[in-house]
Amino acid sequence: MTQAQRTGSPSTPFDTLKAERLAMVYIDGAWVAPQGGTSHAVINPATEEPVARIALGTAADVDLAVAAARRAFPAFAGSSRADRIALLRRVADVFATRREEMARILTMEMGGPLKRTLGYQTAAGQTHLDEIVRVLETYRFEERRGRTVIRREPIGVCGLITPWNAPVMQILTKVAPALAAGCTMVLKPSELAPFSAMLFTEILHEAGVPKGVFNLVNGDGPTVGEALARHPDVDMISFTGSTRAGVRVAEAAAPTVKRVHQELGGKAANILLPDSDLEEAVVRGVQSCFGNSGQSCIAPARLLVPKDQANRAAAIAAAAAETLRVGDPMDPATDLGPLVSRAQFDRVQELIAAGIAEGATLVAGGLGRPDGLTRGYFARPTVFADVVPGMLIEREEIFGPVVTIIAYDSVEQAIAIANDTPYGLAAYVQSRDPSRAEAVAARLRCGYVYLNGAGPDYSAPFGGWKQSGNGREYGEWGLDAFLELKTVVGAAPG
């Protein structure tokens, strides 16, 4: 780290992200100074030191960005499918050339281990780009039924608000379908992880996204996020983040009756059926929960095990937690990096303390940093056994490396516990018999169920039920989200 980065002066450790751009917003195809506003030091969570300061935009910047997007909308909405496919292919090509740089930036700003930012976050981003091209090639924008025509048209100017936990992937799952649909947009990324969004903006610029089609305004939620949500000339908000902020966005958007697409928090259950391979299922569940240091909306944080296997499950989980390497996220061998911020670290500590106070049995990890780490927002991979439904650690989304083991008496009870949450994003079921696992999946009230360690399918819809949201991303469902339906009756017979 250079002296300039240590002091937080507007230098940049990145190869190509120009230092002066950190103090700018991107509007109408150009980097420009914001209309006033403050600046914000982005902290490297592994070192607790500032990396650089970024400018936080204002509501006036949102006005300018929305106006640029509105001006660009008619031409872009009228562009051909072939033009948009070509554009998305160019974005995918440029993204591929900058992928490693992107992974390093992500690791620096949000602390995800390099093996994950390179191997998962940016890889998934690339897949989403390839996937939207595949979808766009055959998507039916118009359907004729006799003299009735059903059209799908771009919804208009979109406000995109994204979190920090898998930043570039969450940006891509909005920007890629919005471009495919012919929408124009204003992105407000998380102020905790803005560099990846700025690099992504450079990628779009280099790929030749027409001016005004994509705009970036960094800023905090209450200022820039709410200005976007309230804006009368924004037709849709696509939001990913906490349920708390998602509700605020929906409230701000309500007077203008715009579409609000929400991807919110979760508290996934991982049901180990009595016939599962306990060792394999517990190890996999623990590793999956601790991916991204538990900062994942789909983290299988509630491990439900049959009562007679609970002690063994706790021992296996504790051993699995203790083998994980916590440390420098830039080290390719690291499994868990730091939590994203001091606030997140403090919150996770509070919830671990609450678990201890509530009488859950701590079998691995606990309060404080892992041994040997004296700075950085590193939490200990923590496993609680004897967790009872209703405990705070069983209900709250912890967003840290904490697994809670809950013993159940019957599969009926396991299903009831899994569903007894305000959230409904993801769930997991483990069984030696895939059809038995599938039967349980059918009874879970959530939007995505992973059976027996299956990975994600980026061509299938992803999104939450209940307080986990109301939108769907990925594949054609992701594209549907950015389109409005129009029915035309009395058309010439087709």
Cβ of residue 469: shortest distance to ligand NAD, in angstroms? Answer: 5
Closer by beta carbon to ligand NAD, 84 or else 466: 466
Closer by beta carbon to ligand NAD, 125 or else 182: 125
Q: How far is CA 401 from CA 135, 266, 366, 486, in A?
A: 36, 14, 10, 46
The answer to whether 103 and 15 have CB atoms below 8 angstroms apart is no
In the numeric block, which tokens belong to residue 367? 């309060």
**What is the C-alpha separation between 452 and 435, in angstroms, rounded?**
11
Cβ of residue 364: shortest distance to ligand NAD, in angstroms? Answer: 23
Q: Is 225 in the site for ligand NAD (CB under 6 A)?
A: yes
Q: Is 248 in the site for ligand NAD (CB under 6 A)?
A: yes
User: Looking at 28, 153, 206, 220, which residue binds ligand NAD (CB under 6 A)?
Assistant: 220
User: Looking at 186, 425, 440, 481, which residue binds ligand NAD (CB under 6 A)?
Assistant: 425
Which position among 191, 297, 446, 476 bears the catalytic label?
A: 297
Query: How many residues are given for the chain?
Result: 494
| Among 43-51, 110-118, 225-233, 382-390, the segment contacting ligand NAD (CB under 6 A) | 225-233
In the numeric block, which tokens belong to residue 41? 């030091």
Which position among 101, 109, 202, 263 bears the catalytic label?
A: 263
Closer by beta carbon to ligand NAD, 135 or else 169: 169
- Residue 103: phi and psi, rounded to 5, are -60, -40
Cβ of residue 191: shortest distance to ligand NAD, in angstroms? Answer: 6
Q: Is 212 in the site for ligand NAD (CB under 6 A)?
A: no
Answer yes or no: 183 catalytic: no
Closer by beta carbon to ligand NAD, 93 or else 346: 346
**What is the C-alpha separation between 293 and 337, in angstroms, rounded?**
6
Q: Which of residues 269-328 bind ligand NAD (CB under 6 A)?
A: 297
Cβ of residue 305: shortest distance to ligand NAD, in angstroms? Answer: 24
| Among 131-139, 224-232, 350-358, 369-377, the segment contacting ligand NAD (CB under 6 A) | 224-232
Q: Is 165 in the site for ligand NAD (CB under 6 A)?
A: yes
Closer by beta carbon to ligand NAD, 193 or else 281: 193
x-or-dash string of contact with ligand NAD, 428-467, rule CB under 6 A: ------------------------------------x---
394 burial class (0-12, 13-18, 19+ CB within 10 angstroms)? buried
x-or-dash string of contact with ligand NAD, 390-419, rule CB under 6 A: -------x-x--------------------
| Among 55-63, 221-229, 353-361, 367-375, the segment contacting ligand NAD (CB under 6 A) | 221-229
User: Looking at 125, 285, 306, 469, which residue binds ligand NAD (CB under 6 A)?
Assistant: 469
Answer yes or no: 297 catalytic: yes
User: Looking at 111, 182, 241, 285, which residue binds ligand NAD (CB under 6 A)?
Assistant: 241
Q: Is 264 in the site for ligand NAD (CB under 6 A)?
A: yes
362 burial class (0-12, 13-18, 19+ CB within 10 angstroms)? middle
**What is the C-alpha separation between 365 and 478, in angstroms, rounded?**
39
Cβ of residue 465: shortest distance to ligand NAD, in angstroms? Answer: 11
The closest alpha carbon to 128, from 173, 167, 164, belongs to: 173
x-or-dash string of contact with ligand NAD, 119-158, rule CB under 6 A: ----------------------------------------
User: Looking at 194, 266, 381, 475, which residue binds ligand NAD (CB under 6 A)?
Assistant: 266
Closer by beta carbon to ligand NAD, 182 or else 219: 219
Size of the site for ligand NAD (CB under 6 A): 32
Q: Which residues bind ligand NAD (CB under 6 A)?
A: 161-165, 170, 188, 190-191, 220-222, 225-226, 229, 240-242, 245, 248-249, 263-266, 297, 397, 399, 425, 464, 468-469
Q: Which residues are known to be catalytic?
A: 263, 297
